[in-house]
Each structure stands twice: as structure tokens, then as C-alpha cells.
Structure 1
């Protein structure tokens, strides 16, 4: 990896990080020494790239910094096209439509030499039951909206919950909604094909949802997924 490529990668790591990143973490990801990372960050700062932080604490990229349009490698393009094709298995029509649009834009913008030439065929087979609420749930996750849902559990028990939706989790056989449940005052996971009704209450809590999402990600949520997928 050339120094210019490495410095570009450091910018990308910091732009995507939700919290300060240590030099050691960057060094491990780029397979270089911490000393090399310190030197590269000093050079970037000298070029007015708005990186803040210090050794031993971590580094962040100040908001507002952007890069010119990126050019993907051939392997990155193939990864994007395979990932988009795999969305067929989610049963999510909204995501599938968006994936077709995105890959069309990428293909149109690439020079001939970068367009994917290796054929990739992805099976569309799936056991996931589609849900007409998928697009709506994603919209509410983005805005931090409070929702009132009607949920049918596998045991034929119907309940009404007031929730704050946090994330969508895609399994091979089900799609789950991670949420903060007002009834249980805890995180819960709901199969979206069993949500029969979803209404926004009119309240929005984007900052609270962001904090809850961070706590949910730290709570080892995988332990509850399998059970929720069967409930």
C-alpha cells in the first residue's frame, strides 16, 4: 500500500467512525505500525485535513469534511453488485428496488475498464415472509419516531406496544425489528411479518434513539435474535 493510499484510508476510517479511533486500531486495520499512523496523521493535519485528537486518546474527523467522488476497484464493484443481488433473499421489495437503482447508477458512472466482467449469479431462494411495512419501518428508524404497533406472536397472542424502532436485522429466514419497548422498558425484537399494524404517535426522539441504539449495540443483542425469530 502506497503512502497516499494509506493516508486516504485513514481519512475514510475516521469519516466512518462514530467515536474516537486510536492509532493502534488504525494501525491494526491497515497492517502498519503506530509510528506510521502518527506520522501520516501529522501530515494530514499539516494539509488542513480537520483531524482532532492526540496519541493515547484517539482521533476524530471534524464534521463537514468531504472528499471528491470515489472510484471503486474492480473487486469493490463486484462486492457491491453481489451484495445488492443478495437483497433478493430479504423479500424486501423496497430494498430490492433501491439496489437496482444504485447498481445502475454505479455501472453508468464507471469507465469500461472498471465495470464488472466476472458473472455473479445469486440464488433468489428465501423463506422470509415479505412485509408491506418494511419501507415504513425504515423511514421511522431514520427519524426516531415513536410507533404504536400491533404484534401477533407465534402463540397467537396479540399485543399492542408503544416502541422506539432502532434497527432492522436480516436473518436467512426472518427480518427482525430491534426496538425499545415502552411496555417492557427494555430492548425487544419483533418479526416484521408479524407486525400487523404500525402507526406513528407523532412524537420523535432522534437523540434518544441514537443513545438507545448505542446501548443496544453494546448489549450483545445476538443472544436474543434466535428466540425472537421463533416468537
Structure 2
């Protein structure tokens, strides 16, 4: 492994750990000697990385540090390209535009050798099988999820019945044929899955829901026997 790639890998490992991690564990993860690890940490600290700790205590990377030169391995770059291409094809319009903008930003700071890989990679995403059918702005839903705000929706179920719901949204799933908004439904007193193409009205409320989004997601995952996002009926 080249030294530059090794230093980048060390930063990535440190970013995954929120608490101090021992030098022995870091060296084991990277497949290097403890002496090499200490030299690499000293090199990163000299370049401005805010790594705190010492031998026998452990090391932690403070979140303020950003590596100036943006570098990716070939596999990481291919994963990014594939992900961006999927979003550009299957997400709603604001996200497809954001994906293109993000890819352009990354392209401008990549070395020439990696920038060429953006267009030459053989990875492709299959054809889109549906057109956007939402009548509402999914950006409102994403913002409500991020801010943990309640949503008021008008929903048409599979039987064609219309209902007014207040939900606590915590997840938005993107699939090839449809999209699913997942939340706690106050009307049903339970978790529900709403196909976004059946939502006829969507309003973000000022009121925050009383539980943390991560707790709702954890509880929802715990009761799922399989990943089958069945729309509310």
C-alpha cells in the first residue's frame, strides 16, 4: 500500500471511531506495524490533522479536520459514481440535480488520473421504468424528517379511500417503481408506509414530534421481519 493511500486509510479508520482507539487496534485494522502507525500519526499531525492521544492511551480524530486534497481509491470512486448515477435516474428532481452538482464539485478537485475515471467507468445503472407521479414536493418531506417535524398529509389508499393523517416521518425509501414515506401515524397509532404517488396533499407542521427520529427508526426496524415496505391500506 502506498504511503499516501495508507495515511488516507488511517484517517478513514479514525473517522469511524468516535472514542479513543488503541494504537494496536489501529495497526491491526490497517495491517501495519505499530512503529509505522506511530510514524503515520505523527505525519498526519504535522499536516494539521487534529489527532489527540498518545501511545498506551489511544487516539481520536477531532471532527474539525478535513483533508485538503480529496483522494479516493478506485473502488471508492466507482462506488460514488454508481451511487450518483442511481440517484440521477431514480430520485425526485431536486435530488437528481443535487447529485449532478455534487459530482461536478468532486470532479473539480480530483487528480487528473481519477477525474478521467468519472466518464470511463464501465458501471451503469439500468433503465428507469416509471415516470415521476408525485403531486407533492418530496423536499418538504425530507426537511420534515431532518427537523423531526410532523407532517399533515392527504392520502389515497390502495382501495381508493381518502384520509387525512398527521404522521411523524423518519424515513424516505427510493425504489425503482415507487417511493415510500415511513412514519408513525397518529390516526392508526402505529407505523405506516405511504406510497408518495398516493399522497395528494403534504404540509409540514411547526410542531416537532415527541420522540427522536433515531429511536423511531430503531423501533421500526426491530419489528420488521423482512424489508417489505408495504404501503398503508
Q: Which moved more, 1:164-173 or 1:124-133?
A: 124-133
For residue 133 of structure 2, the aligned residue among 130, 140, 160 is: 130
- How do 1:161-200 and structure 2 match up within 5 A? 161-200=165-204
1:104 aligns to what SS in structure 2? helix
Secondary structure at the residue paired with 2:171?
strand
Contact residue 89 and residue 126 of structure 1 kept, 8 A: no
* Offset at residue 89 of structure 1 (A): 4.0
Residue equivalent to 2:109: 109
Gaps of 5+ in 1: none
Q: TM-score normalised to the size of structure 2?
A: 0.71
Q: TM-score, normalised by structure 1?
A: 0.72
Contact (CA 8 Å) 1:86, 1:124: kept in 2 or not? no
Q: Name the larger-Rg structure.
A: 2
Counterpart-to-counterpart distance in 1, 2:194 and 2:185:
10
How many residues in Structure 1 have an aligned counterpart in Structure 2? 225
Deviations 1:29-53 (A, max 9, x none): x4759x96xx77xx68x9585568x
In the aligned structure 1, how far is the partner of 2:230 from the partner of 2:25?
34
Equivalent residues of 1:91, 1:126 under 8 A apart: no
Cα distance change, pair 110–59 in 1 and its aligned pair in 2 (3 A): closer
Q: 1:203 aligns with which of 203, 207, 215?
A: 207
Instruction: Indicate how the Cα distance of structure 1 residues 63 and 99 shifts in structure 2: closer, same or farther if over 3 A, else same.
Output: closer
Alignment correspondent of 2:151: 147
Distance 1:74 1:105, change over 3 A: same
CA 118–193 in structure 1, closer or farther in 2 if over 3 Å, else same: same
Aligned Cα root-mean-square deviation (Å): 4.2
Matches within 5 A, 1:205-224: 205=209, 208-213=212-217, 215-216=218-219, 218-219=221-222, 221=224, 223=226
Cα displacement (A) at 1:152: 1.0
